[in-house]
Amino acid sequence: MTFFWSSWITVLSIMCWGGILGVLLMVLKYKPEVEEDGTTGHTYDGIQEYDKPLPKWWLVIFFGSIIWGVAYWVFFPAIFPSKWEGIATVEVDGETVPWTSHNELNSELESNNKVFTDNFEQNILAKANASGATKSLASLSEMQATLRRSETPPADLQTKIDEKTAELAPYVEKLAENPNALKVGSRLFLQNCSVCHGSNAKGATGYPNLTDNDWIYGGEATNILTTLHKGRVGGMPAWRDQIGEDGVRAASEYVLSLSGNNGSKSNGELDKTMVAQGSAIFQQNCALCHGKDGKGMISAGAPNLTDNIWLYGGDRETVRNTLRYGRAGVMPQWETKLGNERIMLLAAYVYSLSDRGVQTAKVTMPANATAPKTAAPAATTVN
């Protein structure tokens, strides 16, 4: 709120308070002349008017509300909030800070999160034989708090945070075998991830399927933790201006040939001449990210083009549009919203979804979701 509006509201409040108090005091001070029978001499419709004092209980409540209002102005930033912070405080991130609705919310969230983390350590980590993660989680939280508070954090602090995050990977694998951990993880997934990936985690057009074993950024527990903590920003550039429409069509034909689409019902027979032309274009422009063999590069987030798994569709025209106009995909970061403990549970659940032939612990899922199939990394490689 600007200084003008906060000042206007403050002045108006004080004027109203002063006016009401003035009227009350005037009424209490005013003593009209009364007759011998105690009436004021005023009669209306046969009813005589007496001069009786205001009820004491009413006066106590009235003056008490005024005193309460003044105390509120002192304790909270009700008078000129931009100038007066009040004397009330709350605890946020281990520090005592002035009261604001924002700080109060953060304080309550921290208090509730403390209940969750205590339960996480005692009833989930301990029972999954993963109590060793407690020390790493504490160190990670401390470093993250330092990074948030510091205007000029140490140059290597983010690297240390990433290393400490990676230390949690073995414990994520253990959680992926624990039914209680998977149950909580499945709820977290439905609450936060299902809007994009679907309640069954099979994805949709533009959103990866998390139940197969194809990954863009890697399917190990470390990779999943990094994705959830930091998010991902994928970019497929538009190539129409660089290689022209003929180049787009030739390169698309070659990409389709890599994934075994030759003769498929949706695309029909591929043009061998265009495939040969597209191969040269691919090696010159696309191999840097997708590799010479088209199998992709985890370090670049470039998908495997040889597995016939597609994020936006594998028909000829969709592939051409991908080359013409490019694609931009964003996976949001969840570190600030969920916190380290919830991310561990969510990573364990996602890790458990992939089909790699290893049986995992069973977990009861909500009616509109599918149970995890196996215990191993999962995500999607998309073309």
Rounded to an integer, the average pLDDT of 280-290 is: 95
The two tokens of residue 107 are 């304080």
Residue of 193, 236, 231, 235 whose CA lies nearest to 323? 236
CA distance 210 to 207: 9
pLDDT in tens, 207-243: 999 998 888 898 999 999 999 999 999 889 999 999 9
Distance of CA 198 to CAs 12, 201, 297, 343, Å? 52, 5, 26, 18
Q: Kindly report which listed range (111-120, 181-190, 351-360) carries the lowest average pLDDT score.
A: 351-360
pLDDT in tens, 189-199: 999 999 999 99
The two tokens of residue 43 are 């009669």
Query: To the nearest whole percent, how much of the chain has pLDDT over 90?
Result: 54
- β-strand pairing of 327-331 with 232-236: antiparallel
Q: Are 197 and 210 in contact (CB under 8 A)?
A: yes
The two tokens of residue 31 are 């003593």
CA distance 142 to 98: 22
CA distance 106 to 336: 12
Which residue shows structure tokens 């194809």?
214
Rounded to an integer, the average pLDDT of 27-32 is: 83
Comparison of pLDDT for 378 and 326, the residue scoring more: 326
pLDDT at 36 over 90: no
Question: What is the pLDDT, as a whole number, of residue 358?
Answer: 44
Q: Are 160 and 143 in contact (CB under 8 A)?
A: yes
Distance of CA 35 to CAs 48, 54, 261, 274, Å? 11, 19, 110, 115
Residue of 320, 356, 99 whose CA lies nearest to 213? 356
Q: Are 347 and 225 in contact (CB under 8 A)?
A: yes
In angstroms, how far is CA 105 from the centroid of its own chain? 16
pLDDT at 135 over 90: yes
CA distance 230 to 11: 47
Comparison of pLDDT for 362 and 183, the residue scoring more: 183
Q: Are 142 and 325 in contact (CB under 8 A)?
A: no
In angstroms, how far is CA 282 from the centroid of its own chain? 38
- DSSP secondary structure string, 72-84? HHHHSTTSSTTT-
Q: Kindly report which listed range (91-105, 330-344, 362-376) carries the lowest average pLDDT score.
A: 362-376
Residue of 344, 338, 334, 341 whose CA lies nearest to 175? 344
pLDDT at 155 over 70: yes
Question: What is the pLDDT, as a whole number, of residue 262?
Answer: 56
DSSP character at residue 378: -
Question: What is the pLDDT, as a whole number, of residue 265?
Answer: 64
What is the Rg, in whole angstroms, of the alpha carbon atoms belonging to the chain? 34
DSSP character at residue 229: H
Question: What is the pLDDT, as a whole number, of residue 210?
Answer: 93
Residue of 343, 338, 333 whose CA lies nearest to 136? 343
Average pLDDT, the chain: 86
pLDDT at 47 over 60: yes
**Contacting residues for 290 by C-beta, under 8 A, at least 6 apart:** 282, 296, 297, 302, 303, 304, 305
Question: What is the pLDDT, as a whole number, of residue 356?
Answer: 62
Q: Kindly report which listed range (35-44, 208-217, 245-254, 315-324) carries the lowest average pLDDT score.
A: 35-44
Rounded to an integer, the average pLDDT of 38-56 is: 83
Q: Are 175 and 123 in contact (CB under 8 A)?
A: no
Question: What is the pLDDT, as a whole number, of residue 378?
Answer: 36
Residue 172 pLDDT grade (very low, low, confident, very high; cuts 50, 70, 90): very high
Query: To the nearest whole percent, how much of the chain has pLDDT over 70?
Result: 90
CA distance 329 to 302: 12
Q: Are 320 and 340 in contact (CB under 8 A)?
A: no
CA distance 328 to 96: 42
Question: What is the pLDDT, as a whole number, of residue 264?
Answer: 58
pLDDT in tens, 255-275: 999 987 755 567 788 999 999
Residue 329 pLDDT grade (very low, low, confident, very high; cuts 50, 70, 90): confident
Question: What is the pLDDT, as a whole number, of residue 3?
Answer: 67
Question: What is the pLDDT, as a whole number, of residue 13?
Answer: 82
Question: What is the pLDDT, as a whole number, of residue 327?
Answer: 93
Rounded to an integer, the average pLDDT of 54-66 is: 89
Question: What is the pLDDT, as a whole number, of residue 85?
Answer: 84
Structure-derived torsion over alpha carbons of residues 27, 33, 36, 42, reported in degrees to the nearest 10: -80
* pTM tops 0.85: no
Question: What is the pLDDT, as a whole number, of residue 374?
Answer: 36
pLDDT at 20 over 50: yes
The two tokens of residue 75 are 């304790």
